[in-house]
Amino acid sequence: MKSKYLGGLMGFVIGDAFGVPVEFVSRHELLKNPITKMTGNGTYNLPAGTWSDDTSMMIATIDSINSKQTIDLNDIALKFVAWKNHATYTALGEVFDIGRTCLQSICNYEESHDPYTCGLSDIKSNGNGSLMRILPIAYYAVEKRLKDNEILDVVRDVSSLTHAHEISIMGCYIYVRYAMFLLNGKDKFAAYSMIKSIDYSMFSEETRKVYDRLLKDDIAKLTINDIASTGYIVDTLESAIWVTLQSENFKEAIIGAVNLGDDTDTIGALTGGLSGIIYGDELIPEEWKKAIACREYLLDIFEEFYENNYE
């Protein structure tokens, strides 16, 4: 279990760092010169192994669970504030690539101190900012043996700190359930079949419809030309699960995810989280793990998370 546990978390960070230097680079450009190893410079001119807001918000969530031993929305929000204002939870002591919806929602929280109203709920606020940090909730839900309605409640509350629209909540719920099935030992194809059979009737028909390609069709049968890699949560979730189903090992999954182009850090991170659970920590390339900035700091947080939950 520990290999799956740590593999998912470190896999997430590796996918994020792998994608940072080529974020916003088009698929056309990347397929001409594919990224196959951990690189630096690029979009943000940062050293190799630098992770982005995806990892910062993910570990802020874990740190809150570690300290509170439960889901404390005010504490998570305060940790997001510390990240925004003081660069806490960053690789190099600076915040970069913070999304519009996350920024506005955190600012809203600073004014209202209300975690239930600070998130944006308009249709245009369905980027990746809650999906990219939701993985720890899968671990939490597995450890607490939460029931379906309890999982949904936690996902809704945590997503809504920044992204309160139903499309974002449903996307986060699908990702969490898929990761939970993987953590519980299901293979990636069985887990995919299982998320397709979940009851989503609590979501509106309009919202469910945007996930039809993923939940009613077979996403694995699509070609790369059918897969979009924008910052829209539906596209990103499709991309991460598509690459996960297409790939045969962790290395192939990360390279495949990042070379889809555009929102490379988030697609890399979400794919890395799933693939790290599937293949385990020991099958993640050692040179990639060693390249990660502040690796020991991250491992300390991950180890505490594991020990609190499984020891």
pTM: 0.97
Q: Which residues contact 84 (CB under 8 A, 6 or more apart)?
A: 95, 98, 103, 106
Q: How far is CA 94 from the centre of its chain?
A: 20
Question: Does the pLDDT of residue 309 top 80, yes or no?
Answer: no
Percent of the chain exceeding pLDDT 90 equals 96
Greater pLDDT, 182 or 307? 182
Cα gap 176→141, rounded to integer Å: 9
Q: Name the average pLDDT for the chain.
A: 96
Using alpha carbons, select from 274, 249, 246, 248 the residue that is nearest to residue 260: 246
Cα gap 59→244, rounded to integer Å: 23
pLDDT in tens, 52-65: 999 999 999 999 99
Domain 2-34+50-310 has CATH 1.10.4080.10: yes
Question: Does the pLDDT of residue 311 top 60, yes or no?
Answer: no
The neighbour count for residue 81, using CB atoms within 10 Å, is 16
pLDDT in tens, 10-45: 999 999 999 999 999 999 999 999 999 999 999 999
pLDDT at 135: 98
- Give the pair of three-digit tokens for residue 18: 């792998």
pLDDT at 310: 63
pLDDT in tens, 118-175: 999 999 999 999 999 999 999 999 999 999 999 999 999 999 999 999 999 999 999 9
298 φ/ψ angles, rounded to the nearest 5 degrees: -65, -45
In this structure, of 167-176, 179-188, 273-282, 302-311, the range with the lowest mean pLDDT score is 302-311
Is residue 84 within 8 A of residue 103, CB to CB? The reply is yes
pLDDT band at 308 (very low <50, low <70, confident <90, very high): confident
Q: What's the rounded mean pLDDT across residues 74-95?
A: 97
Cα gap 261→249, rounded to integer Å: 20
Which contacts qualify for 35-43: CB closer than 8 Å, 24 or more apart?
Answer: 35/255, 35/258, 35/259, 36/255, 38/14, 38/287, 38/288, 38/291
Question: Does the pLDDT of residue 115 top 60, yes or no?
Answer: yes
pLDDT at 1: 77
pLDDT in tens, 217-260: 999 999 999 999 999 999 999 999 999 999 999 999 999 999 99
**240, 245, 268, 305 from 292: Cα distances, Å:** 21, 25, 14, 19
**22, 43, 49, 86, 265 from 39: Cα distances, Å:** 9, 11, 7, 27, 13
